[in-house]
Amino acid sequence: LFGLPDQAPHERVLLAADPQTGLKAILAVHSTARGPAFGGCRFWTYDNELAALNDALRLSQGMSLKNALAQLPFGGGKAVIIKPAGHFDRPALFAAFGRAVQSLDGAYITAEDVGTTTADMLGMQAHTQYVSGIPRAGAFGGDPSPKTAYGVFVSIDEGVKRVLGRSSLDGVRVALQGLGAVGWHLAEYLHKAGAKLVVTDVDAAKVQRAQEQFGAVAVATSDILAADVDVLAPCALGAVLNQQSIASLKARLIAGAANNQLATAADGDALHARGITYLPDYLVNAGGIISVAREFRNEGEEQAVMTEVGLIRGRVAELLERVRASGATPAREADAWARSLLVKPAA
């Protein structure tokens, strides 16, 4: 646990249990080199506690890299709550989680992630000041998904120009896996820019809406990764880029919101060997954390946030330049770049 190959060890991991509410949570602080560890809280069913711990450790390290590349004055952390098997009182459970967050005295700041909602964050406010992603009447804040989608959109746009040599997204075919909070907004941006969408989701109603609103072509969930498209945007699950899927990919560019898209580091090399450019997830999907970080610092103003999220475009361009100069894969180059930034930012 204290030194997985290739990984910086975690600074601090808290196991928080509250028998009254059934809370079992892991709060993982990977790095505070840049500032307090900032990252969302996942509420999920796990096969066992070790799997939950592993998820928290992996995700929190990813947040260190994401926050560093996004040049935020925050380190990386993440929390995982193991979903109780039977009946539970959700507000009470999140109140207990809020107290656990508070016990870290600001070393970790939480927000939404898979399985948690703005309502959960709102309820936690009574128990900790270290929570973000909260809607406020008449002010900026709340759901970070649209900002994440915008960051992925500018990344795809930049990648299409630099990698595919196209002048715009007009007529570019994009496969979208997952039409959830991020995927739907991304589909809207892409459609407006003239892209042709191929979509899938386990929720048939979302697929039908995308067909109606965007003229999207629907495919089975099992067919999306191998769809005959220019760009693949994974916006549902992690580890979708693996030994099995990579062999059948037709897209030349991959950029999507899903965290941990590469099953292993070697899969990044395999993509590169096949001439497929993978824009690392934690570079392109930083829009959400940029949003909640600004909200937390009370520097929220819609346009300023969108401008900051838009800076992801320049980072994509810089990564592609770095890759050209070094010959390394984008995944390994981004990793080295992010790790070099795991230091206190200049004031």
* Residues within the interface to ligand NAI (CB under 6 A): 114, 144-145, 148, 177-183, 200-203, 206, 221, 235-237, 257-259, 285, 288
Told to judge if 24 belongs to the known catalytic residues of this protein, a careful annotator would answer no
For the bound state, the minimum distance from the C-beta of residue 79 to ligand NAI, rounded and expressed in Å, comes to 14
Catalytic residue among 78, 147, 196, 206: 78
For the bound state, the minimum distance from the C-beta of residue 155 to ligand NAI, rounded and expressed in Å, comes to 12
Q: Strand 12-18 and strand 23-31: pairing?
A: antiparallel
Q: Which is nearer to ligand NAI, 102 or 117 (CB)?
A: 117
Q: What are phi and psi of 130, to 5 degrees?
A: -95, 55
CA-CA distance, 116 to 207, in Å (whole number)?
Answer: 23
| Helical ranges in the chain per DSSP H | 49-69, 90-103, 118-124, 145-162, 181-192, 204-214, 243-246, 265-273, 281-284, 287-296, 302-310, 312-326, 330-340
Q: What are phi and psi of 175, to 5 degrees?
A: -95, 125
Sign of CA dihedral 107, 112, 118, 123: negative
Q: Which is nearer to ligand NAI, 16 or 235 (CB)?
A: 235
Q: Which is nearer to ligand NAI, 179 or 283 (CB)?
A: 179
DSSP codes joined into one string, 119-156: HHHHHHTTT-S-B----BTTBS-S--HHHHHHHHHHHH
Q: Which is nearer to ligand NAI, 60 or 145 (CB)?
A: 145
3-state DSSP assignment of residue 257 = coil
Which residue has the closest beta carbon to ligand NAI? Answer: 180
Q: Which is nearer to ligand NAI, 147 or 328 (CB)?
A: 147
Token digits for 106?
Answer: 């600001």
For the bound state, the minimum distance from the C-beta of residue 250 to ligand NAI, rounded and expressed in Å, comes to 18
Q: What own/partner pairs with CB < 8 Å and gap ≥ 24 does 137-140 have?
A: 139/300, 140/294, 140/295, 140/300, 140/301, 140/302, 140/305
For the bound state, the minimum distance from the C-beta of residue 275 to ligand NAI, rounded and expressed in Å, comes to 25
DSSP type of residue 238: S
For the bound state, the minimum distance from the C-beta of residue 212 to ligand NAI, rounded and expressed in Å, comes to 16
Catalytic residues: 78
